[in-house]
């Protein structure tokens, strides 16, 4: 299996752990604000294969706690579960970043206890989900199923939203709150413009707006955090 990028050490991607982050190309969404635009269409060049990844990890035992898989959408790769199992057998924790649009594959990994942590992106309220995901139509039942599967398992998790102007407002977070009501953890992540963003025109919201959005979410979620802003 081709690996399209690797961050060999991060203290940010896996909460509470030292990890490596593995980037996999290919995505079933087309978010116009995506930071990893080079990974969306699956054409990004491979930096290594899974064999070299496992060899790298063998030399990082005792240094790294876990491995994060992100994209793109990692669940598009049919070979991913086998690779995750091999990494777990080596003694590493496994974290998955997902957009939740492949609920059956997610459920299988959860049922088989392959994952130690799941971070699911919640793009927006149902009314603006397709727009925020860069699609003409989105099947919200798939999103709801993934949320349900995560909430119904013991695997540690978080839900998160990258917040930006002009795609989010108070109504967005009322809708998001209803989608994930009862969840343990939710994070608002501030949009940061980069050269790799698909389209221009997006910006981080004002601090007061972010704090108000967080207050809205606290009516629905037990723990709400904000990333990417000084409080």
User: Is 12 contained in some domain?
Assistant: yes
Asked if residue 67 is part of any domain, the answer here is yes
Q: Is 179 part of any domain?
A: no
Q: Name the pTM for this structure.
A: 0.95
User: What is the 3-class SS of 55-117, one letter each residue?
Assistant: HHHHCCECCECEEEEECCCHHHCCCHHHHHHHHHHCCCEEEEEECCCCHHHHHHHHHCCCCCE
Residues 207 and 178: their CA atoms lie apart, in Å, by 23
For 86-130, write each residue's pLDDT tens digit: 999 999 999 999 999 999 999 999 999 999 999 999 999 999 999
In a domain, 184, yes or no: no
pLDDT digits (tens, 9 = 90+) for 131-144: 999 999 999 999 99
Which H or E element spans position 213?
Answer: helix 207-217
CA-atom Rg of the chain in angstroms:
17
Per-residue confidence (pLDDT) for residue 121, from 0 to 100:
98
Q: What is the pLDDT of residue 224?
A: 98
Given this model, what pLDDT does residue 192 score?
81
Q: Which strand ranges, in their side-by-side order, compose the sheet holding 19-23?
A: 5-10, 19-23, 66-70, 93-98, 117-121, 156-163, 185-190, 223-227
117 neighbors 95 (Cβ within 8 angstroms) = yes
For residues 158 and 151, give the distance between their C-alpha atoms in angstroms, rounded to a whole number. Answer: 10
Widest CA span in the chain: 48
Inside any domain, residue 43: yes
Question: At 188, is the secondary structure helix, strand, or coil?
Answer: strand
pLDDT at 201: 83
Residue 186 in any domain: the answer is no
How many CB atoms lie under 10 A from the CB of residue 206?
10
Q: Domain of residue 157: give its range.
A: 2-163
Domain at 94, CATH number = 3.20.20.70
Q: Is residue 73 part of a domain?
A: yes
Residue 214 in this model has a pLDDT that exceeds 90: yes
- Distance, in Å, from the CA atom of 38 to the CA atom of 89, rounded to the nearest integer, reads 31
pLDDT of residue 39: 82
Distance between CA 81 and CA 73 in Å, rounded? Answer: 13
Number of domains in the chain: 1
Q: What is the pLDDT of residue 196?
A: 62
DSSP 196: T
In 3D space, the residue among 9, 114, 5 whose CA is nearest the CA of residue 60 turns out to be 9
User: Has residue 99 been placed in a domain?
Assistant: yes
């Amino acid at each position: 299996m081709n690996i399209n990028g690797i961050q060999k050490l991060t203290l940010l991607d896996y909460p509470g752990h030292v990890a490596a982050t593995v980037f996999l190309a290919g995505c079933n969404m087309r978010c116009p604000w995506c930071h990893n635009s080079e990974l969306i269409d699956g054409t990004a060049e491979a930096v290594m294969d899974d064999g070299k990844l496992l060899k790298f990890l063998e030399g990082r035992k005792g240094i790294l706690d876990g491995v994060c898989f992100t994209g793109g959408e990692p669940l598009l790769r049919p070979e991913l579960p086998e690779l995750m199992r091999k990494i777990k057998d080596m003694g590493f924790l496994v974290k998955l970043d997902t957009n939740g649009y492949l609920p059956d594959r997610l459920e299988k990994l959860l049922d088989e206890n392959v994952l130690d942590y799941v971070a699911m992106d919640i793009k927006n309220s149902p009314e603006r989900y397709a727009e925020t995901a860069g699609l003409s139509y989105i099947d919200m039942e798939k999103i709801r199923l993934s949320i349900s599967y995560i909430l119904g398992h013991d695997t540690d998790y978080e839900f998160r939203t990258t917040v930006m102007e002009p795609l989010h407002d108070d109504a967005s977070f009322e809708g998001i709150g209803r989608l994930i009501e009862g969840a343990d953890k939710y994070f608002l992540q501030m949009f940061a413009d980069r050269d790799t963003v698909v389209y221009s025109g997006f910006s981080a919201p004002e601090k007061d707006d972010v704090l108000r959005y967080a207050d809205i979410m606290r009516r629905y979620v037990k723990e709400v955090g904000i990333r990417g802003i000084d409080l």
